[in-house]
Amino acid sequence: MNRPLQNNVQQQPPPPESHRSEPTTVIPCLPQAGEARNLSSAAKRRTIRCYIREGQRASCFATFAKKFCTKIHRPAAWRSQLSALESSLILLEKRSVSSAAAMTAIRETNFPGIAPAARGKVRDIYDLGDKLLIVATDRLSAFDVVMPTPIPDKGKVLTQLSLFWFNLLHNVIPNHILSATDFPAPFDTYHEQLAGRAMLVRKTQPLPIECVVRGYLSGSGWKEYQTTGKVCGIALPSGLRESDKLPEPIFTPATKAISGHDENISFERAAELIGKPLAEKVCAVSIEIYNRASAYAAPRGVLLADTKFEFGLLNNLRPDREAAAELIWIDEALTPDSSRFWPASQYRPGGAQPSFDKQFVRDYLERIQWSKTPPGPELPPDVVAATRAKYREAYRILVGHELN
């Protein structure tokens, strides 16, 4: 009899119970955007506490958040305070947090007698010859450091959302998926543990570049633009603000980094690495995928600010011809880890935007003044629960139903 899978499973403490209702409190008028900038720090904290109390009486966090975020300008000086507010309120929404006594998370897989070929920041990869088994764990990295505390359901969101996009956009380019339900021996023994988070895929020769498409000016692109007026050698109009929509999506490749940040490169440098014909092809395919995904997300209230793709070459041996390399879409597809998804209702160009990702974790780490060097600190239950809720919310909005 096969021994059960000895996964490194961590039990997260249950999220705190919803706060008890307080006696009716007079809530001060919401300050307008201009007035918010002039509030003292003490006044801002009083305002936030009042809205937390109001949020406890609100039947729906989304309604409350929309009211709060459309009335108050969100300057960077107190963004972390607002993040703490959002964390508290997300815990109050029924669908955000499991009612189970504890949430189970898998930080890494450990199959008896089987060692993974590699462990990335998130995924454990098992080499099966001409195939790979890719398992998305619940690990989370921030500032290029993997946190010791996993986020329940994160790996399932990444896998299920990738499968959704691979299927939706299959006519743009072939992808590497073989199955997400049937796994070969001996992994079939552990189907229950792999379900929802594993993909059996074709092995390819990965291209040595990340294929990034930007529709908005943010992140490293914004930093580069402030210095040079360009992004990866592409000249942009002057006077753009952070998070402004670009006149058209741009292809901004990057080199892959085993550790640390990827390095932005020009199209010309990408062509030197993989050849000009292939560089032109991945550029065209990447922009096509971005445009289709962006058009799909927009009517659902989501802006796709930017995203990155990975491609590989598959050698198909045929008896009547020499080996022919086929370009394949690999890795993950348009997930909160590989993309910036912004809620359209809260879009305010001129600064950083709220997003469907690990922003709660980054803001928490900034608040505790962590050194951003290993090891990472353990994450508190409220930050874990709020981050889990954000990933699940992205899935629900884009796919149209809750994560099973």
3-state SS, 291-348, equals HHHHHHHHHHCEEEEEEEEEEEEEEEEECCEEEEEEEEEECCCCCCCCEEEEEHHHCC
Per-position pLDDT tens, the chain of length 404: 443 333 444 444 444 443 333 332 333 333 444 444 444 545 544 554 454 444 444 334 444 444 444 444 444 434 444 544 554 444 444 333 333 334 689 999 999 999 999 999 999 999 999 999 999 999 999 998 999 999 999 999 999 999 999 999 999 999 999 999 999 999 999 998 999 999 999 999 999 999 999 999 999 999 999 999 999 999 999 999 999 999 999 999 999 766 666 799 999 999 999 999 999 999 999 999 999 999 999 999 999 999 999 999 997 644 444 445 799 999 999 999 999 999 999 999 999 999 999 989 999 999 999 999 999 999 999 999 999 999 999 999 999 999 98
What is the model's pLDDT at position 97?
35
CA distance linking residue 53 with residue 43, whole number of Å: 15
How does 374-394 read in b/e, with b if 16+ C-beta sit within 10 Å? eebeebebbbbbbbbbbbbbb
Q: What angle do CA 230, 232, 235 make, to 5 degrees?
A: 30
What is the model's pLDDT at position 316?
60
Give the architecture-level CATH label for domain 205-353: 2-Layer Sandwich (3.30)
Structural domain boundaries of the chain? 33-90, 205-353
Q: Which two tokens stand for residue 139?
A: 């690990």
